[in-house]
Amino acid sequence: MLTPLLAAIAPVLRGRVVFTVPTREPRFVLSLDDGPHPATTPALLDVLARHGAHATFFLLGERATTYPDLVARIAAEGHEIGNHTWRDEPTWRLAPASFRENLRATQRVLTAHGPVRWFRPGSGWPTHRHLAIAEEEGLRCVLGTAVAVSGAGAGTATTARWLDPVVRRGVVVVLHEGPQRTGVAGTVDGLLARTARRGLAAVALSELAGAQGS
């Protein structure tokens, strides 16, 4: 029988959780959690368009239902949509049946705008059972390589500078948006300017993973 620690890390060892995408291409993945929201999403989309970059938006079903026009704009501008469950809460606290229904409800809302193949749990790590449920629903779990923690996950004026040297090809960057995170557009703007000077481009997860046959 596996110990609790081994049970938690076994999916990682088996490659069931995505942290990074092995690649020789000068590209990295930019991902944004907890949207959509009018306080941040339009500004983020404007920044991404200005830099010619793409991202994967891990959206909350509750907010996607409230702001369908923003979801439509995300998809229309060539960005990818991922499932971040129904609302911003720790996934590991949810009973399996509740988690499955939240995942399905969110999937129903999001797939109206395009295919959804990725899932990111709320507040970090999923349990083995939650991971299995997501896989049964046709979703693969994605965490990340580099996560901004300042500014409630949106970053501050200095975040782009210290995050820049961490970003390498294949890295999955995690940032957060929402009503208390209006600085995230500035973080993304600064990061994209810095990485571009090093020849790195930000792309959506499926674009990079698909190029590797994942």
Q: What are phi and psi of 166, to 5 degrees?
A: -80, -25
119-132 residue pLDDT tens: 999 987 788 899 99
Helices marked H in 22-115: 41-51, 61-66, 68-76, 96-110
**pTM of this prediction?**
0.92
Q: What is the pLDDT of residues 5-28, one digit of tens each?
A: 334 444 444 579 999 999 999 999
Q: Would you kindly state where each structural domain of the chain is located, as residue ranges?
A: 4-211
Question: pLDDT value at position 190?
Answer: 98
Instruction: Give residue-wise pLDDT tens across range 86-121.
Output: 998 999 899 999 999 999 999 999 999 999 999 999
Contact 83, 107 (CB under 8 A): yes
Q: What's residue 211's pLDDT?
A: 55
CATH 3.30.160.270, applies to 4-211: no
Buried b / exposed e over 28-42, threshold 16 CB at 10 Å, is bbbbbbbbbbebbbe
Tell me the pLDDT of the chain averaged across its residues: 92
* Cα separation, 208 vs 197, whole angstroms: 20
Q: Of the candidates 135, 133, 101, 130, which has an alpha carbon nearest to the alpha carbon of residue 118?
A: 135
